């Protein structure tokens, strides 16, 4: 199926597939085992012009949108979603600048990201502020021409590896969520350091670290949008980025399906390949149907957002929710198809199963996605009655 892809999108898909097979596949096991960030792959992504798929051409990008990013992330994630996160998590950190940055901010930062010279990260989550973004404790106090940041961010993807961070902090705690503001903070700024690197179950080739701010002074010009808009910046960013998580989940599921089908053709029991058994065929059929359904929803959501669709929260949440649930189901079934081998680290499906789990959790747990979807349905119904 061509899925109605443009000529450019087919080129992106094929290029990412080639990079994944030739460059990522031989090293994925090492980086998963070592819990190590793949710096050499970032250089490969940069050389292949994959770092700016979603950034406008005038800032050095490819001029695509969410759809182009989703296609690339899906293909890379079929082989290793942890390594693919270097690109996907950078997009998450970049969207606040794309959506709310001034022209001066865009000119300063987007070309660096598009060229692959700088990775980005998004600093929202804290120990007591995950789904409850209004519980942020990190503060930003205006002092002359600078803001002074104090606090700690937790579980930040690309933490320590990225050069550019978009960070949400409280400028007026008395206002709750309406007292949050968003800032651009560069690595190397005095008072900005990194804490614990997490030892994770999955996506182990991706760095997840604490961001620590101790009297970190950043220029007033690094404020994104206006004071008090931090919560809006965060929510609009997640609306745009969730199809990227969905694409990651989709890629994991599709990769696991490929491995399961190939194994079922090779593995023989009772004198014939196990793919000849109806029970296995039915499992593969269900897995394939779920993957195609997820792909249809992810692509529909990406195209809707790229087309300037309004009220994108619901469709964005739907694609993230559905694709991540599919990823968990399909990878679990892939392990089952491979049987004892599926449980062994020498086969990739156990890694895919570990990697899949986080897609149900980060950028908003799937319980939060259901809440977003439900609230939007109620709002739409109420509006239709007026």
CB 37 within 8 A of CB 200: no
Token code pair at residue 240: 């745009």
CB 52 within 8 A of CB 61: yes
Residue 145's CB is within 10 A of a number of other CB atoms, namely: 9
Output the pLDDT for position 240. Answer: 97
pLDDT (tens digit per residue) in 166-181 = 999 999 999 988 999 9
Burial (CB count within 10 angstroms: exposed 0-12, middle 13-18, buried 19+), residue 270: exposed
Out of 126-130, 136-140, 287-291, pick the least confident: 126-130
Nearest 10 degrees: Cα torsion 69, 71, 76, 80: 90
- State the Cα–Cα distance between residues 336 and 313, nearest whole angstrom: 35
pLDDT (tens digit per residue) in 223-279 = 999 999 999 999 999 999 999 999 999 999 999 999 999 999 999 999 999 999 999
Look up 363 and say whether it is catalytic.
yes
pLDDT (tens digit per residue) in 290-323 = 999 999 999 999 999 999 998 999 999 999 999 9
The pLDDT of 144-163, averaged and rounded, is 98
pLDDT at 131 over 90: no
Higher pLDDT, 142 or 131: 142
Q: Which residues pair with 298 in a beta bridge?
A: none
Task: Write down all domains in the chain, each with its CATH number in brackets.
Answer: 7-114 (1.10.540.10), 120-230 (2.40.110.10), 238-385 (1.20.140.10)
- State the Cα–Cα distance between residues 320 and 364, nearest whole angstrom: 9
Strands 164-170 and 208-219, sheet pairing: unpaired
Degrees to nearest 5, angle at CA 131 with 133 and 97: 55
Output the pLDDT for position 66. Answer: 98
pLDDT at 122 over 90: yes
Output the pLDDT for position 373. Answer: 98
- State the Cα–Cα distance between residues 117 and 100, nearest whole angstrom: 22
pLDDT (tens digit per residue) in 48-78 = 999 999 999 999 999 999 999 999 999 999 9
Q: Which residues pair with 123 in a beta bridge?
A: 167
Output the pLDDT for position 133. Answer: 72
Output the pLDDT for position 132. Answer: 81
Rounded to two decimals, the pTM is 0.97
Strands 208-219 and 223-224, sheet pairing: unpaired
Nearest 10 degrees: Cα torsion 116, 17, 203, 262: -170
- State the Cα–Cα distance between residues 58 and 131, nearest whole angstrom: 35
Output the pLDDT for position 135. Answer: 87
Output the pLDDT for position 98. Answer: 98
Q: What is the percentage of the chain residues whose pLDDT exceeds 90?
A: 96
Output the pLDDT for position 27. Answer: 98
The pLDDT of 198-222, averaged and rounded, is 98
pLDDT at 18 over 80: yes
Look over the chain and give the mean of its residue pLDDT values, rounded to a whole number: 97
The pLDDT of 218-225, averaged and rounded, is 98
Output the pLDDT for position 64. Answer: 96
Output the pLDDT for position 74. Answer: 98
**Residues composing the chain:** 386
Strands 208-219 and 192-197, sheet pairing: antiparallel
Per annotation, catalytic residue among 74, 75, 161, 363 = 363
pLDDT confidence tier of residue 385, bands split at 50, 70 and 90: confident
CB 60 within 8 A of CB 117: no
- State the Cα–Cα distance between residues 200 and 212, nearest whole angstrom: 20
The pLDDT of 128-135, averaged and rounded, is 81
Q: Which of 203, 320, 333, 322 is nearest to 259 (CA)?
A: 333
Strands 164-170 and 120-123, sheet pairing: parallel
HEC secondary structure over the chain: CCCCCCHHHHHHHHHHHHHHHHHHCCCHHHHHHHCCCCHHHHHHHHHCCCCCCCCCHHHCCCCCCHHHHHHHHHHHHCCCHHHHHHHHHHHHHHHHHHHHCCHHHHHHHHHHHHCCCCCEEEECCECCECCCHHHCCCEEEEECCEEEEEEEEEEEECCCCCCEEEEEEECCHHHHHHHEEEEEEECCCCCEEEEEECCCCCCCCCCEEEEEEEEEEEEHHHEECCCCCHHHHHHHHHHHHHHHHHHHHHHHHHHHHHHHHHHHHHCEECCEEHHHCHHHHHHHHHHHHHHHHHHHHHHHHHHHHHCCCCCCHHHHHHHHHHHHHHHHHHHHHHHHHHHHHHHCCCCCHHHHHHHHHHCCCCCCCHHHHHHHHHHHHHHHHHHHHC
The pLDDT of 104-124, averaged and rounded, is 98
């Amino acid at each position: 199926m061509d899925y109605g892809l443009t000529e450019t999108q087919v080129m992106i898909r094929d290029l990412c597939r080639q990079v994944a097979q030739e460059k990522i596949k031989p090293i994925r096991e090492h980086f998963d085992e070592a819990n190590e960030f793949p710096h050499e792959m970032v250089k490969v992504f940069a050389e292949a012009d994959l770092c700016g798929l979603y950034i406008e051409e005038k800032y050095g990008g490819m001029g695509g949108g969410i759809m182009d990013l989703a296609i690339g992330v899906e293909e890379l994630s079929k082989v290793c979603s942890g390594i693919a996160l270097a690109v996907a998590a950078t997009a998450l950190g970049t969207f606040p600048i794309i959506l709310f940055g001034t022209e001066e901010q865009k000119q300063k930062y987007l070309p660096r990201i598009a060229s692959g010279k700088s990775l980005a990260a998004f600093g929202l989550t804290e120990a007591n502020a995950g789904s409850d973004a209004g519980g942020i404790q990190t503060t930003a106090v205006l002092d002359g021409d600078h803001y002074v940041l104090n606090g700690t961010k937790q579980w930040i993807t690309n933490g320590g590896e990225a050069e550019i961070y978009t960070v949400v902090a409280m400028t007026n705690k008395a206002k709750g969520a309406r007292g949050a503001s968003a800032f651009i903070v560069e690595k190397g700024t005095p008072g900005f350091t990194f804490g614990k690197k997490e030892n994770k179950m999955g996506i182990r080739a991706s760095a997840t670290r604490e961001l620590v701010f101790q009297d970190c002074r950043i220029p007033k010009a690094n404020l994104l949008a206006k004071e008090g808009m931090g919560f809006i910046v965060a929510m609009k960013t997640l609306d745009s980025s969730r199809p990227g998580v969905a694409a990651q989940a989709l890629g994991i599921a599709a990769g696991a399906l490929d491995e399961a089908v190939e194994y079922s053709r090779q593995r023989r029991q009772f004198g014939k390949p196990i793919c000849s058994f109806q029970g296995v065929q039915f499992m593969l059929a269900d897995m394939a149907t779920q993957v195609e359904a997820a792909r249809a929803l992810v692509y529909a959501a990406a195209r809707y957002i790229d087309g300037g669709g309004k009220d994108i929260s619901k469709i964005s949440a739907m694609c993230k929710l559905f694709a991540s649930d599919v990823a968990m189901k399909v990878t679990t079934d892939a392990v089952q198809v491979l049987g004892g081998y599926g449980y062994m680290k020498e086969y990739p499906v156990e890694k895919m199963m570990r990697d899949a789990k986080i897609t149900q959790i980060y950028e908003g747990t799937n319980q939060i996605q259901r809440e977003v979807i439900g609230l939007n349905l109620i709002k739409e119904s109420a509006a239709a009655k007026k």
